[in-house]
Structure 1
Amino acid sequence: MTINYPNGKIYQAPKEVIERKKKKAPVEYGKRGMSLEEDINDSNRYYLERGIAVIHKKPTPIQVVKVDYPKRSAAVIREAYYRHSSTTDFNGIYKGYYIDFEAKETRNKASFPLKNFHEHQIIHMDQCRKMGGITFVLILFSTLNRVFLLGSQHVSLFWHQQTDADKRKSIPLSFIEKNGYEIERGFQPSLDYVAAIEKMLQTEIKV
């Protein structure tokens, strides 16, 4: 907008004002853009601090290939590789129940591809469930920004059926909506998945 003085002259903003407008401070978005794993870790800290649950990320096994010893009292790893994890991402305890779960993301809008799982993960969750553990998958549909908790028994069912020629290779979103538990994002905790575990315990485990 042009501003004129009473004498007809056009107002010109001081140079420092113009420069200040050009150098606007970047917008802070807080925790926006956090990955699913970061959300879970943030929530795990919240649960631990308040005595709600003790759940941690499992460390990924490392295969050490080369080690140097520059000093007798110190060793320096020069070469190492991440080994393929033989189980799932997270485990812990909630209300006396052993909790074990995997966290997965997809950009698909209508289904979750089974190729995102590994056979050893399915086997591990099946074994834990048979021993009385609470096992599930947290699935993030990143394009839709929706997160669900789905019991591992459903995942296992689709996994073992996919070898049949007429069976699909993914879990439909409609099935997850019906049989899973949608988790709302919040501030504290970032992702209250324990609330979803509680719903699953009440409806499926019948505590």
Structure 2
Amino acid sequence: MAIRYPNGKKYVPVQKKDTARKVNPSFSNRGKTLEDELNESNEYYLHHGIAVIHKKPVPIQVVNVKYPARSAAVITEAYFRTPSTTDYNGVWQGKYIDFEAKETKNKTSFPLQNIHEHQVMHMKNISSQGGIAFFVIRFSTLDRYFILPYASFSNKWKRMIDGGRKSITLAEIEKDAIEIQPGFHPRLDYIQALDTLAAKSTETIERQEQER
């Protein structure tokens, strides 16, 4: 199926195609994508009344459909109605959260080439309204997961726009992000990481007020 952006440019999937787990084969969920792991974690949160978080539907306008059989329809061409924003959003403890999930096979850095300006602007708007915006980043080869808050990401994005490096080093992520240790129930407990992130944000606000 051919899917195109509103400007007619063909959409080519990247990063999330081949994400089979190659590290620690003892895990029963090896081969699952980051999206699979997050969806399962979100189901756990919903079932236990912890948070209500869902993957956003993709706004697609169908153009052409073929009917190879009476009981089957195949979409052969479609367009994105509007530019996509981020992957997930929802509510946790009265707070609006909004995040993008990204995977990379790179062992030393996280490339910024697959993040779009309109996504960054969306996360900026969320943050300005008091929402919690962040990235869930998986280094698939290393089997490591991180929560990178928008505030930390935005500095690296600006660095790229100003002509600097086009990636965030693993060392920078280790410093600015919160690492998630994968488990089973839920698989990725990123809500616990948000507790830590919220505490750090509160400390930062209190320190800034004291310095005034």
Q: TM-score range by the shorter chain?
A: 0.7 to 0.9
> Equivalent residue for 1:190?
187
Note the 1:1-207 alignment, pairs <5 A.
Answer: 30-66=28-64, 78-81=75-78, 83=80, 85-165=83-163, 167-206=164-203
Change (3 A) 1:78 1:168: closer
- Could you tell which deviates more after superposition, 142-151 or 80-89? 80-89
* SS of corresponding position for 2:121: helix
Q: Give percent identity, aligned residues only.
A: 50
In structure 2, distance between residues paired with 1:137 and 1:65:
32
- Could you tell which deviates more after superposition, 109-118 or 39-48? 109-118
- Could you tell which deviates more after superposition, 44-53 or 168-177? 168-177
In structure 1, distance between residues paired with 2:47 and 2:154:
33
Output one character per residue of 1:109-160: Cα deviation in whole Å (capped at 9) or x when no partner.
Answer: 1111111211111000000000000000000001100000000112122112
Displacement of 1:199: 0.7
The CA RMSD measured in Å over matched residues stands at 2.5
- Could you tell which deviates more after superposition, 45-54 or 105-114? 105-114
In structure 1, distance between residues paired with 2:103 and 2:75:
32
In structure 2, distance between residues paired with 1:109 and 1:164:
25
Larger Cα-atom Rg: 1
Displacement of 1:175: 1.0
Change (3 A) 1:182 1:81: same
In structure 2, distance between residues paired with 1:104 and 1:44:
16
The count of aligned residue pairs is 176
Contact 1:43 1:189 in 2 (8 A): yes
In structure 2, distance between residues paired with 1:189 and 1:85:
31
> Equivalent residue for 1:21?
none
* SS of corresponding position for 1:162: helix
Task: Show structure 2 runs of 5+ residues with no match.
Answer: 1-24, 67-72, 206-212
Code of the residue aligned with 1:184 in structure 2: it is Q
Contact 2:63 2:79 in 1 (8 A): no
Code of the residue aligned with 1:199 in structure 2: it is T
TM-score (norm 2): 0.76
In structure 1, distance between residues paired with 2:142 and 2:168:
16
> Equivalent residue for 1:20?
none
Contact 1:60 1:82 in 2 (8 A): no
